[in-house]
Structure 1
Amino acid sequence: MKNGKRVAIGARPPANPQADAWVRQGDGADIGKTDLYTARLTLDVTPALRARIKIEAFTRGLTVAEMLRALLEDEFPEKPQ
C-alpha cells in the first residue's frame, strides 16, 4: 500500500482436481528436496549451539539440514514392518 490505494483481491477460484493432481505430480525430470522431505521440523537452540552446528556442517562439507537429517536417521532408523 505505497500510495494509500487499496486493491481488491478477487475470490479464490474453484478447486480443480485435475490441476491439483498435475501440480502434485510434477514433471518427473528431477527429484528435489521437496520430493524427499515434506515435513518441516522447528527446533529452538541457543545461538552458541547453532553456531557450533553450522561450523561442524561447514567443516564436513555438508549443509546443516543434510547433517541433521543424517544424525536423526542414525538415531531413529526406520523399523522393518
Structure 2
Amino acid sequence: MDIGAVLTTAGSLMLTGMVGVFIFLSILIGAVTLMSNLVARFDVAEVAIPVKSPSLKSQGVQSEHIAAISAAIAQYKSNNK
C-alpha cells in the first residue's frame, strides 16, 4: 500500500467520524431543546414544600468540644513559653 492510499483511507475515516459526531450532537441539541420547551409548556405551578429547619443543637460545634479545645490550646501555650 502506498502513502497516498493510506492518507485517503485516513481522511475518509476522519471525515466519517466527524460527520457522525456532528449528527449525534445535532440530535442531542434538538432533543434537549425539545424537552426544555415541553417542560416549560407543561410546567405546573411550584408547590411549596415545607422545609424542616435543622435544630439549634445540630448547628455548629458542641460547647464541650470548644471547652476541650480551648483548654488544650491554653495548656500548649503555657508549656511552650
TM-score w.r.t. the length of structure 2 is 0.22
Larger radius of gyration: 2
Larger relative helix fraction: 2
**Greater RCO (CA < 8 Å, at least 6 residues apart):** 1
Q: TM-score under structure 1 normalisation?
A: 0.22
